[in-house]
Each structure stands twice: as C-alpha cells, then as structure tokens.
Amino acid sequence: MECTVTLEADVLAAFPAEVQIPAQLVADAVAASSATSPRVLVVLDDDPTGTQSVADLAVLTRWDVADFTWAFTHIRENQTKPAVYVLTNTRSLDPAEAAARNEEIVRNALAAAAPAGLALGFVSRSDSTLRGHYPLEPDVIAATVAAETGEATDGVVIVPAFPDAGRVTIGGVHYMRGAAENLGSLTPVAETEFAKDASFGFANSEMAKYVEEKSQGRFPASDVIVLDLNIIRAGASAQDPTISAKAIADALEPATNSTPIVADIVTENDFRALALGLEEAERRGKKLLYRVGPPFVRGRIGQEIRTALTSEEAFAGNTPSTAGGLIVVGSHVGVTTRQLNDLTSAHSSARTIEIDVEKLIAGTKTEGEAEAEAYIGTVVSDVVDALHQGDVIVHTSRLLIKTDDAAASLKIARTVSAAVVAVVNRTLKTFPPRFVIAKGGITSSDVAAHGLEIRHAIVRGPMLPGIVSLWEPVDGPAKGIPYIVFAGNVGDDQSLTHVTRKLSATF
C-alpha cells in the first residue's frame, strides 16, 4: 500500500500558533486543586516505556496494597510530583488477563489511598502508535472505580501523541513524523508498520474512527469529542492560557458515561494547555479517565522537561561495577534492528550473543524442554564469561516468528521473553553487570520485574532528550544498578549506541 505523506507545515497552517505556557503554571493549578483534597495520579503502564518522559517518580512492578502505601509515602516524604507508575505489562497479556490485572491494581490503589486521605486519578498509559488493549483497559478501570467508590466516569481522554518520538495528532488524525530523509513529513499512523501488529493491528488514523473501530461501534465516531488545535490553542492570539482552558472545559461539558475525548497535540505547550483545561473541567465536576502516550503525565502534573542524564548522573549515589554492561534486545520493529546493527558495528569490543528463537519454540512444542533449558544455560555461561571482559549484547534472533492468531503470537512472545528473563536473572546472581539496557516493551518489562527482580524503583530521568528512561532500583538484587528502559519504536539508528556509550567503561 502506498503511503499518504503530507508536510507537517501544510497541515498546521489551518490552525493557530501554540500558546506559551510555563510548566509551573500547571503545577500551581494542580497544587491548588490538591490543597483541600490531596490527589495522586496512578499510571497503569502497559509496558515500562511510559516512564521515559518523566523524572524522579516512583515506579512499582508489584501492586499489593503495601506497594502503593510505599509509593504514597515516598511522594509525601520527598515532596515529589503527585504521580506513581505501576508496571502492568498488560500489552503482553490476553484480554481476560489484562482485564483482571487492571481491576486488581485499581482496587488495591484505592484501598491504600483511603487511610492516606488521598483522592486518586487513573491514567491508562499505552502505545503512541495505538497498539494495546483499547477500549478494554479504560472500560475496566472505570467499572472498578464505579464499583469501589460509586463514582461514574464522564469521559475518557485519549492522547496518544508523543512528539519527542515523532507521533503527533493534528485535526483529529494521528501521524508519524518522517525520519531523517523525510524531515517535515507526516504519514498517517495506520499506514505504518505498527498498524500491522499481529495482536493489536488497526485500520484508522483518524482518532474518532479508530475509537469506533476498536469499540466495534459501541462508540460511533460521531459521538467522539475532538479537541482539535483550534480548541487547544484558543488563547493563541492573546497568549492567554486561561482562554484555552475555558474552551477545553466547555467542550467537555457534554461528556457522560465514558464519552471518548480525543485531543490534538503537537508540542509540549499543547500538553500544558490541555492539562489546564482538564484541571478546569475536573474543578467543574467532570470525572475523567486518561488513555495516553508517554508525555501526557509530564504535562498533566506540570513537570519540567528533564534534560538527558549525563554519564555521571546515571551512576550518581552508586559506585559503578567494574564488570561490563549488559544490553538485551528483544524488540523486532525495524528501528530496533537498525539500532542493533549500528551498535554491533560501532562497539567492536563488545561480545554479541544471539538467543536462537527457533530452538526455544521447538523446545516448547516437543519433548525438548530439557534441551531448551540446557541451551539457556549455555547462553548464561557465555554471557557471564564475556562480562568479565567488557560489554555484552544479547539479542533474540531477528527472524520474527508469528502466526495469524493473536493469542498464539502472544504465546510465542512470552516464551522468548521467559528465556531472556532467565538469562538476565542467572547472570545477575552470578556476576552483576555494570548496567542493564533492555530494548523493547515486553522485554524491558519482564527484565525489570523478573530478570532483575525490581519491586520498587525511582525513575531518574531520560538518557536521550524526551526518550529512554533510567530507573534506579531501590531494593532487590539489582539495587543501585542503572536500568535503562528503551522502547522498541523510539530513537534514530544511532540511539542505542549513544546510550551504551554513556554507560560503558570500555566503549
């Protein structure tokens, strides 16, 4: 299929200029709202890459009531911004499992918030290229909140935009920006490789039609409220954000019974304008739930954009190990493969070890489980030996094995991820690496929760401007080892190389 490519400047010409809005203005509005009733956003992140746009926030890979109590206490004692991330990993689960996990997390968060005197807002963080369990996850969150508190959700605000990674929404249409050779161009996201995802494929780039498609007509496109740039930037001529905030809140007045609400976003100022409008709508009594891409939370809580961490900042407070670093690559999207090729070419001193996916899959289908286990043991031994000399790149074979059956595709992904987790975990307990980078959403989630056994961590900030998150584990066997969460679909061809060079002692 031939892609429809347009110029961003041409598309934007029909809309006002952005309104300049300081992050502090949003932070002050949030603080004023919380003065009488302290409020925390609980971000249910369907893979760990949603943290790449924020800094100095708590993140959980477990969600018992005690875990939320730890997070809420951390916010209060450290006076951090009022948000906590929960790594759900639901993008790797089937719909029934994803629903059950969302429900459990919301119930436990509410149970921990009550004795702390906190009100909660809920964010369903998902993919900026529209892959994930929609509308299932916001449906479950809304239903659970209603069951536990009696509070109905008026609107579900859908904001997939991620400008730092090249995803913007203009005129209700979600686009992907062109790479280096096509700077300034826009391609509708349904015409990209992401729309062909085996588990979460889609056909529409116009967000209202996407909502209708994914809800199977339950929410007709005509019922979706679209906050286009004319509304988001209503105060442009006077550079007055209060005008935009009122326009946004006014547009949300009809929302009821989880009405889908789509927002245009091109810049950070658009996020901040939207945040002020949502704050005003909630002040008026609207009960909102959010389904968003990574940067939304940063804008919503009024956090400044954190500059990329330096090498020194990445290890701040911890003594770097003399071992090599471990780079784990599981994602199969095109940009990841190109990044892997660039790293292996540039980092000649690193040892590259491949995990043969065909061997793993064959082991699950036959009597070959013992052979698969022995194979994983061999990989671990090779990785540990290599870490004594320097950095090690472990990647799954680049041939993507998938089927036309979504559930079978997820099962294959889980099998591969389990092997990656086993390699990381056994390596960690044998010879801890200097740092760990995990490339890919499911990969980085499983490596965090199971490979490194992280339960609680602090997101320190991005390794590259606006993308690629560094977590500092605060407990468990990986405590103090920088852990880099690197989405499969972000960055240019050299990004993985740049991040590795910041952390490596031998590169």
- Residues 421-464: pLDDT tens digits? 999 999 999 999 999 999 987 788 889 999 999 999 999 999 99
119 three-class SS: strand
Report the C-alpha gap between 490 and 31 in whole angstroms: 32
pLDDT digits 0-9 by tens, 466-478: 889 999 999 999 9
| pLDDT higher than threshold 70 for residue 403 | no
| Pairing mode of beta strands 119-125, 456-464 | unpaired
| pLDDT higher than threshold 60 for residue 367 | no
Burial class for 178, CB neighbours closer than 10 Å (0-12, 13-18, 19+):
middle
Q: What is the pLDDT of residue 36?
A: 83
pLDDT digits 0-9 by tens, 479-503: 999 999 998 878 899 999 999 999 9
The model's confidence at residue 313, banded by pLDDT at 50, 70 and 90, is very high
Domains of the chain: which residue ranges?
A: 6-301, 311-503
Q: What is the pLDDT of residue 274?
A: 98
Domain 6-301 has CATH 3.40.50.300: no
Domain 6-301 and domain 311-503 have a common topology: no
According to DSSP H, which parts of 39-178 are helical?
A: 65-78, 95-116, 136-149
At the topology level, CATH places domain 311-503 in Molybdenum Cofactor Biosythetic Enzyme; Chain A (3.40.980)
Q: What is the pLDDT of residue 81?
A: 95
Which helix (H) or strand (E) is 223 found in, with range?
A: none
The model's confidence at residue 365, banded by pLDDT at 50, 70 and 90, is low
pLDDT digits 0-9 by tens, 39-68: 999 999 998 888 989 999 999 999 999 999
Q: What is the pLDDT of residue 399?
A: 62
Residues 421-454, buried b or exposed e (16+ Cβ, 10 A)? bbbbbbbbeebbbbbbbbbbbbbbbbbbbbbbbb
- Residue predicted with more confidence, 4 or 150: 150
pLDDT digits 0-9 by tens, 175-215: 999 876 688 999 999 999 899 998 899 999 999 999 999 99
Compute the average pLDDT of residues 292-321. 95
Compute the average pLDDT of residues 350-359. 89
Residue closest to 403 by CA, chosen among 200, 199, 203: 199
